[in-house]
């Protein structure tokens, strides 16, 4: 359960809600240009581009949930059960595992166009990071200031979809969400004229009635529609403060409140964190479920020519500004 969006207003922004019933030891992590990734296929590669995002660092290896690189490219993995298939490695392809996918792409591609070229040779296989960390079934969004794509893996390889909305959630497959969006084409941020009948007057009685019918539940299909409506109609003055505020407001509208979603195991599914990365400037903002104040890390204040990871533990305790 997650929601990922993009936003362009002067700078380009990329981020998501991470909806889960537990914390996975995540931290804001900067991977510099000279960090060496040792892949499960036995090869070693160094980044062309530094990146910043949320990751679980295990044995000095960043397992990214999402990240942006210094060239302005963003990528996120979202839960996608029952659909993604990761077969055995194959010949004549670059075999990488899902947990290697984000750093592999962001470490080498500066744009979606370049990412598309990389994807032609990639095969996502079923080799886990370790026996304790099995494969996570995901699909992915890759985006820059000009375009976005969604990648879903089947037994026949990568399926790549253009994403004109710049929004992604979870099941079903991505084409369903684009088709389902047509069911809401009548919605408007403005109050609409009476189209019920010319034989009766039905004046509006409140603002916001043009969006009656906008979904409000937490299903992935509904979150896609609501996030798309918020994003495509959002208004900002184009400043950093304005853009970041609107970005978080959009994601807040589809965030999960504790107790509103209970999993099959009777666990509480919540929005463990929300992030917004200014991919143009390399600044990563976040807030957690228990700390709604914003924290930020600027990747360009780190040594991006280095070869060591830099991680910041999350500020999870609420800080209140008292006026008196």
Catalytic site residue from 2, 4, 275, 276: 2
18: CB partners within 8 A, 6+ apart: 2, 26, 54, 65, 271, 272, 273, 274, 275
54: CB partners within 8 A, 6+ apart: 18, 26, 27, 28, 29, 64, 65, 66, 67, 273, 275, 286
Tokens of 241: 């403060």
What is the DSSP secondary structure assignment for residue 34, as one 8-state letter? Answer: T
Distances 250 to 225, 286, 313 between C-alpha atoms, Å: 12, 14, 25
Tokens of 28: 């804001």
Is 2 among the residues known to form the active site?
yes
Q: What is the DSSP string of 192-208?
A: PP--S-TTS-----STT
What is the DSSP secondary structure assignment for residue 94, as one 8-state letter? Answer: E
Q: Is 83 left (phi over 0), alpha (psi -120 to 50) or beta?
A: alpha
How far is residue 108's CA from residue 50's CA, in Å, rounded to a whole number?
A: 9
Show which residues are catalytic. 2
């Amino acid at each position: 359960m997650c929601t990922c969006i993009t936003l362009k207003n002067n700078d380009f922004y990329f981020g998501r809600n991470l909806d889960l019933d537990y914390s996975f030891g995540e931290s804001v992590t900067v991977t510099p240009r000279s960090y060496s990734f040792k892949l499960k296929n036995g090869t070693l590669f160094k980044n062309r581009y530094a990146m910043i995002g949320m990751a679980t660092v295990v044995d000095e290896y960043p397992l990214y949930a999402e990240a942006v690189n210094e060239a302005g490219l963003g990528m996120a993995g979202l839960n996608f059960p029952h659909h993604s298939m990761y077969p055995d490695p194959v010949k004549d392809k670059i075999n990488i595992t899902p947990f290697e996918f984000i750093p592999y792409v962001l470490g080498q591609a500066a744009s979606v166009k370049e990412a598309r070229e990389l994807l032609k040779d990639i095969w996502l296989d079923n080799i886990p990071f370790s026996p304790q960390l099995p494969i996570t079934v995901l699909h992915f969004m890759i985006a820059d200031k000009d375009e976005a794509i969604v990648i879903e893996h089947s037994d026949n390889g990568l399926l790549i979809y253009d994403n004109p909305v710049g929004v992604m959630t979870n099941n079903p497959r991505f084409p369903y969400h684009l088709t389902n969006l047509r069911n809401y084409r009548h919605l408007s941020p403005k109050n609409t004229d009476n189209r019920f009948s010319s034989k009766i007057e039905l004046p509006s009685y409140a603002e916001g009635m043009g969006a009656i019918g906008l979904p409000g539940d937490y299903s992935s299909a509904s979150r896609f529609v609501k996030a798309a409506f918020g994003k495509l109609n959002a208004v900002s003055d184009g400043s950093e403060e304005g853009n970041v505020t609107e970005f978080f407001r959009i994601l807040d509208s589809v965030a999960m409140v504790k107790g509103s979603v209970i999993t099959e195991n009777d666990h509480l599914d919540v929005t463990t964190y929300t992030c917004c990365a200014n991919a143009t400037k390399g600044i990563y903002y976040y807030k957690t479920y228990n700390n709604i104040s914003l924290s930020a890390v600027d990747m360009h204040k780190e040594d991006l020519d280095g070869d060591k990871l830099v991680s910041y533990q999350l500020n999870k305790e609420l800080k209140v500004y008292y006026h008196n």
